[in-house]
Chain A
Amino acid sequence: MSGPLSEQLALLPEYLSAHVRLTLAALAAGTLVAVPAGILAHRVRRLEGPVLGVAGIVQTVPALALLAVMVPLLSGLGLPGIGTLPALLALVLYSLLPILRNTVTGLHGLDPAVLEAARGVGMTPSQRLRLVELPLALPVIVAGIRTATAWTVGMATLSTPVGAPSLGNFIFSGLQTRNSAAILTGCVAAAGLALVLDLLVRTIARGCALQRRRPIVLALLGLAALAAWAFAPAPRVARGAVGRTLVVGAKTFTEQYVLAEILAGTVHERAHHGARTLSSLGSTVAFDALRRDEIDLYVDYTGTLWASVMGRTDAGPGRQEMEDALRRWLQDEAGVTLVARLGFENAYCFAVRRETAERLELRTLSDAARHAGELSLASDYEFFARQEWRSVEARYGLAFRDKRTMDPSLLYQAIASGQVDAITAYSSDSRIRTLDLVVLEDEKGAIPPYDAVVLASPRLARESPEVLAALRTLDGAIGIDTMRALNGRVDEGRETPAAAAESFLAVRRKQR
């Protein structure tokens, strides 16, 4: 166990410091906005309803949805839609309500006699606020900041899919690659951070209440030290790289993590360019980030691009025609270069247990359509919203007894344990073979081809043609068996995506 755990612990400083940066910045900004807003709402009673109402509505939006909304919102405003900014904004919005509500409550709840005395001795309104109201409301306000701290630390783990690194990287990638050491590291670190921050905030509050300077100073020093550590420029590992460090994006599944590492390694070895990976991006987040030059490279699939990006509702032409059409469309409409076709396909396919297939004599989707009323189906978050599903549903008249959505990493577990009868599998997944699943043939061609292709940002194509040349050596280099084996190393062999990628790169090095 020490192996995988120490691998994860090596990543801890990077993710923890990013998490601390996000959390502290969000809390500081949240406090700076919410306390004055709370004072205003207290002073001008007319504003209290609207101010608390707006903050309350923000709070009812689920955390993940709030983060997701930030991406198109910021992009629409011409601001970076992925990375730290959307995560920070969402966290700030989320931290507002508890601080705001407690500020208003704290100020409302003061003893009227004390306020009358404050007026009676001749304090101006601002003196009253500074000398009497705020000091007396402080314990309640700080309680709000403590609530916000716990929420923010927790919610910051959700900023990974919008491209802001955090302790969520452990959790998202751990869930995808079934790496319990990673999940554990992320959870324990987040809980530990929440406890430490809470202790510091609470110490400040207690110091204020008891009028003791020492605990306040110590806690502030603690916060300052934490901030200094987190915001200190990290020493970048120079891998003999030239030019700027390229960013290789990855969506939220194992194959994407492995391919991102392979792309980064290839760029480094053949074009001597530094590259890092930015993992766990949402599917359309990745493409939008690429066309806006926020990431430089990532791997997508022709069928996905055809339906989700080009917005085509048909199943598409043949394999080569689709690739040619895509290449032209991407170049003309988005300035994105289709650099290479890796050589394998990761299509959505419908898989059932062998026992089910034999019992019901299922071989094709048409067979399945006849028995669909008896079968339950599970799929990932996006499939039922995709054109492919509508196309399959229309062509075969598939009406399953029950349709469920779950995390892709849990699909195989669900079918293996008999919780569902059919899943949408990914054709390059090693577990189709390991679990002895039967893939139902799409004999009517409802699902378009899903060839893995390397996409490059407009900026990369413009500035670094040598990187594109290096990546073209990957054209046709990863066949379906190779990809399944690499996926298997991570999903079942418990290797890290980087280690799996390295095994592939090492073979290529020998061939050169």
Chain B
Amino acid sequence: MIEVHGLTRRYAERLAVADVSFQVGAGELLALVGDSGSGKTTTLKMINRLVEPDAGRVTIEGRDVASLDPHVLRRSIGYVFQAIGLFPHMTVAQNLAVPLGLLGWSRERIDARVTELLALVELAPGLATRFPAGLSGGEQQRVGVARALAASPHVMLLDEPFGALDPLTRDRVQRSFDGLRRRLGLAAVFVTHDMAEAVMLADRIGVMRAGRLVQIGTPAELARAPVDDDVARLLDTPRRQARLVAERLGGGT
């Protein structure tokens, strides 16, 4: 579905992404984890050409993305990021209609799809006429996800999409997203620095450090055979946290 070969990107003298290669199959979610500055966001943005690579190649469903107009390419890829970026001068319905309008859909078709999308991300139909400023953070991110899904893309790119949400909301939106992407069979690349989130949502995890992809595999593979101590510690974090949480909560018994 998504194939990445030898992606490289330099910013001035600094090598932000160095020779990164991976594949993501249909219906598969790859989480890219690593410290800030490890190159995961840059890697993600080279897939929909928000950033142009200095070297390497990205193909989606067999087509080289460099051969497409960038804006045509992006219309076929769902993109969600932490700041959400809802258009503040448009209502929820108008926000959801934007990608469809760009594809030249008719008014009626757009209206029907907007209703469908609100149901898909479990938002009340009454929110359609509200402006983003009148929504809670969780509602805003659901709208962000719905907008990314509007044109029924086969590929989704998510850049720390739930990082700014409070824990309860975050948990709800995560689970709802997990169900959705399995149901829709999306190929997704998901950038996060939260290992617990990566373990819960991802089919495979890619660990990045200083622009390089140091290891890629299922959570179980990474836990069983980490390539170095850093990866081992990284994979152990959620487990350690879970144990600590269980101990504290179950302390009396």
Contacts and interface: CB of A to CB of B under 8 A. Distances in A.
* Residue of A121, A124, A135 with most chain B CB atoms under a 10 A cut-off: A121
A119 B102 contact: no
A365 to B, nearest CB: 73
A94 to B, nearest CB: 31
A69 B136 CA distance: 58
Given A113-B84, A127-B102, A131-B98, A120 B79 contact: yes
A271 interface: no
Contact of A120 (B76, B81, B88): B81
B101 to A, nearest CB: 8
B50 A120 contact: yes
Nearest to A127: B102
B89 A116 contact: no
A135 B94 CA distance: 14
Contacts of A113: 81, 83-85
Contacts of A115: 85
B86 A122 contact: no
* Residue of A111, A122, A123, A136 with most chain B CB atoms under a 10 A cut-off: A122
A132 B83 contact: no
Interface string A125-141: 00100011001100000
Given A120-B74, A122-B75, A124-B71, A136 B89 contact: yes
A116 B81 CA distance: 9
A114 B98 contact: no
Interface string B78-97: 01010111111100000000
Q: Assign chain B's interface to a size class.
A: 20 to 34
Contacts of B161: none
Nearest to A135: B89
Interface residues of A, number: 21
A487 B40 CA distance: 87
* Residue of A111, A112, A117, A136 with most chain B CB atoms under a 10 A cut-off: A117
Contacts of B73: 122
Interface in B60-81: 71-76, 79, 81
A136 B81 contact: no
Contact of B88 (A116, A123, A136): A136
B99 interface: yes
Contacts of B81: 113, 116-117, 120
B48 interface: yes
B204 interface: no
Contacts of A111: 85, 88
Contacts of A131: 87, 98
A136 B87 CA distance: 9
Given A113-B81, A116-B81, A116-B85, A121 B50 contact: no
B9 interface: no
Nearest to B100: A121
B89 A121 contact: no
Contact of B87 (A112, A122, A124, A132): A132
B75 A117 contact: no
Given A113-B83, A113-B85, A119 B99 contact: no
A205 to B, nearest CB: 13
A122 B71 contact: yes
Contacts of B48: 120
Contacts of A132: 87
B132 to A, nearest CB: 10
Contact of A121 (B74, B83, B84, B88): B74
B72 A117 contact: no
A121 B94 CA distance: 13
Contacts of B102: 121-123, 127
A119 B50 contact: yes
* Residue of B72, B76, B85 with most chain A CB atoms under a 10 A cut-off: B85
A120 B86 CA distance: 11
A26 B87 CA distance: 34
A124 B103 CA distance: 12
A111 B89 CA distance: 12
B44 to A, nearest CB: 11
B147 interface: yes
Given A122-B74, A136-B89, A116 B99 contact: no
* Residue of B72, B87, B147 with most chain A CB atoms under a 10 A cut-off: B87
A119 B84 contact: no
A122 B84 contact: no
* Residue of A112, A123, A136 with most chain B CB atoms under a 10 A cut-off: A123
B85 A114 contact: yes
A339 to B, nearest CB: 66
A132 B86 CA distance: 11
A131 B85 CA distance: 14
A119 B83 CA distance: 14
Contacts of B75: 121-122
A111 B102 CA distance: 21
Nearest to A208: B89
A194 B74 CA distance: 47
A135 B88 CA distance: 10
B75 to A, nearest CB: 3
A114 B48 CA distance: 17
Interface string B160-202: 0000000000000000000000000000000000000000000
B84 A117 contact: yes
A112 B89 CA distance: 15
A179 B102 CA distance: 64
Interface in A426-473: none
Interface string B118-132: 000000000000000
B86 A121 contact: no
B85 A120 contact: yes
Nearest to B69: A124
Nearest to B79: A120
B74 A119 contact: yes
A211 B129 CA distance: 12
Contacts of B147: 121
Contacts of A119: 50, 71, 74
Nearest to A116: B85
A254 to B, nearest CB: 57
A121 to B, nearest CB: 5
A42 to B, nearest CB: 18
3 smallest CB-CB distances across A and B, nearest first, come from A117-B85, A113-B83, A122-B75
24 contacts: A113-B81, A113-B85, A114-B86, A114-B87, A116-B81, A117-B79, A117-B81, A118-B87, A119-B71, A120-B50, A120-B74, A120-B81, A121-B79, A121-B98, A121-B99, A121-B102, A122-B71, A122-B72, A123-B98, A127-B71, A127-B102, A132-B87, A136-B87, A136-B88
